[in-house]
Homo-oligomer: A and B are copies of this chain.
C-alpha cells in the first residue's frame, strides 16, 4: 500500500498551498522517485478523502489534474492507476482505459550510440507534455456512421466552393493572376485591407489603415498578442470556461490565467474588477459574441461597463469576434472596440472563416496604430507574410458582394439547426432533471451541463457506443474542473441528423445514469470500452 506512504506527510507540508495541489505534487514526486510505478493503484476518492480528512471534491480535482498531466488513468469501475513516470512524458487521453501507445519520454529517443541524451525540454515543453499525447492523437474527421457534435468548423455543404472556383478562374485570367504567387506585403494585400475596412464600417467600426493587420487566420491574432504582451508569470483574465486553443497558447507562454465566471449578461463585472485590482493583468481575453464554448453573448450594458472598467484600470482587451457574423436573433451588438472610450483600449480580432470555410486561413487584428506596429513586427518574426492567393480570392469574394449573400443563406440555415437542437434537447432530456443548457443567439456552440459529479468522459464512452460524439467541456477550463460540461456544435449537421444525434446522446446518458445508480446500489452493471474517437 505505497499510497499510505505517499500521502502520509501531506498535512505537514507548507500551509497556504491548496490541498489538491499538495496531492498532485505528492503523486508527481512519488512517481519521479519511483515510489509509485506504472500500474500502481491509487486510493479511491472515498479512501483518500477519509484518510486526509478533506472533501471528496478536493480529491476529485487533484485526480483530474493528475489525469490531465498524463500521470494517472481513472478507469470507471476499476479504479485509478499510475500511468507513467515524471512530468516529461506525453499524456494519454485522460480517463481512457487504452494501453499507452507511446511510453518513452523524449530523452528515451537517444539511440545509445555512445552519445548523451539530447535535451529537448523547456517549461513550455513540460506543459505541452501533459496535452500533446491527448490532443495530437484526436482524429481530424469522425467515422461515417458517428454523428459528431464535436469540433467547431462551418458546415461543409455550405462552403462557397463554386463561387471560389469561379473567382479563381477569373483572377487567373486577369493581370492579378501573377500577384497570387508573389509575397504579399507583411500587413496584407492592399485591396483586401480596403475591403476589410469597409466590412468593419458595416459594423460601426471606423478603422484607419495603420490600425489594421491581416493575419494567417484568427488564431494567429491570439498568438501575436500573446507574443507581444505576455511575459512569463504575467496574468491574463479570461472568461471561465474559454477557448481551448487560447488557454493553450497563453499557458504555453507561462501566463497565469485568472478565470472569471459568467452570469446571464456575460462575464462577471465584480470578478473582473477584483482580478484587475488584485492581479494587475496584462490584458483581458473576451469573446463577446457567441462565446466559445458556452455560446453566451455579452449584453450591451455589460459591454459598456466592461470597457469603462478596463479603461479605468488601463488594462487592454483582446476582443475575439471569431463568429460575430453568425447571428440568428437580430443584428450583432456593437463591438467592444466601437464602444471603447479610448481608441487605445481594445484590439479587435476578426475572421470570415466561421461564416465561409476554414481552409482560407485569413483573419485580422484592429488596434491602436502604435501597438499594431509592434504586432506587425511580431507577425513578421512569426511567418513573415500571409499567403497571397487566399487574400486575392477573398478580396474578390468581398468586392463582388458575395459575402453578404452567403451570410444571409448560412444564417438562415444555422438558425434552423440551432432551433432543432434546442427543441430536441428539450424533448429528449425532459426525463432527466438536472441536465441544463444555454440557448445561443448565434455562433456554433451550445453548452450542456450535467448534474455535478457526473463526468463527460464517462458519458462519452457510452455516447461512442451509441455513435455520437461531442467535445468534453472541461478542456475549456483554465483549471482541472468542469467535468460535467459538454460542448455541442449545432451547425454541422442537418436537422434530421441533429434530431437523431440528440436522441442517441440522451440514450447514452440514460445508460450512464443507470450505471451510476447501479454502482451506488452495489450492482454490477456493464461498463463500455473506450476508443480514441473524440474531437475537440
By a beta-carbon cutoff of 8 Å, the part of chain A in contact with chain B is 90, 102, 104-106, 108-111, 113-120, 122-125, 128-129, 131-133, 135-136, 140, 153, 156, 159-161, 164-165, 168-169, 172, 177-186, 216-217, 219-220, 222-223, 227-232, 234, 245, 248-249, 252, 254, 282, 308, 311-316, 341-345, 357-361, 368-371, 373-374, 376-378, 380-390, 393
Contacts and interface: CB of A to CB of B under 8 A. Distances in A.
Contact of A387 (B136, B359, B368, B380): B359
A370 B106 contact: yes
Given A181-B357, A181-B359, A342 B231 contact: no
Given A124-B228, A161-B181, A342 B381 contact: no
A232 B234 contact: no
Contacts of A220: 382-383
Contact of A384 (B122, B124, B219, B342): B219
- Sorted from nearest, which 6 A-B pairs have the closest CB atoms? A359-B388, A115-B311, A109-B344, A116-B314, A249-B381, A181-B357
Overall SS of chain A's interface:
helix
A111 B390 contact: no
B313 A116 contact: yes
* Max chain B Cβ within 10 angstroms of own Cβ: one of A132, A315, A361, A383: A383
A219 B359 CA distance: 20
A209 to B, nearest CB: 13
A478 B108 CA distance: 34
Contacts of A312: 115-116
A382 B226 CA distance: 10
A175 B268 CA distance: 49
B128 A185 contact: no
Contacts of A110: 314, 342, 344
Contacts of A111: 342-344
A122 B282 contact: yes
B181 A164 contact: yes
Given A105-B370, A122-B231, A181-B360, 8 more contacts: A104-B370, A128-B228, A136-B376, A140-B186, A153-B183, A232-B232, A252-B378, A361-B388
Interface centre among A123, A359, A389 (most CB of B within 10 A): A359
Nearest to A183: B358
Copies in the complex: 2
B182 A115 contact: no
Nearest to A252: B381
B182 A118 contact: no
B122 A228 contact: yes
A248 B228 CA distance: 13
Nearest to A380: B245
B184 A359 contact: yes
Given A183-B153, A344-B120, A217 B104 contact: no
A93 to B, nearest CB: 14
B381 A125 contact: no
B229 A122 contact: yes
A169 B317 CA distance: 44
A159 B181 contact: yes
Contact of A169 (B129, B169, B248, B358): B169
Contacts of A316: 118-120
Nearest to A343: B111
B109 A245 contact: no
Nearest to A187: B136
A389 B387 CA distance: 10
Contacts of A357: 181-182
Nearest to A362: B387
A113 B341 contact: yes
Q: Which of A115, A168, A252 has the largest count of B CB atoms less than 10 A from its CB?
A: A115
Contacts of A230: 122
B341 A115 contact: yes
A124 B359 CA distance: 31
B120 A382 contact: no
A159 B387 CA distance: 15
A116 B113 CA distance: 61
A220 B219 CA distance: 14
B234 A122 contact: yes
A478 to B, nearest CB: 15
Given A106-B370, A109-B343, A377 B161 contact: no
Contacts of A177: 161, 165
Contact of A118 (B161, B169, B314, B378): B314
Contact of A216 (B118, B344, B383): B383
A159 B182 contact: yes
A345 B248 CA distance: 26
A227 B128 CA distance: 11
Given A359-B387, A383-B217, A371 B231 contact: no
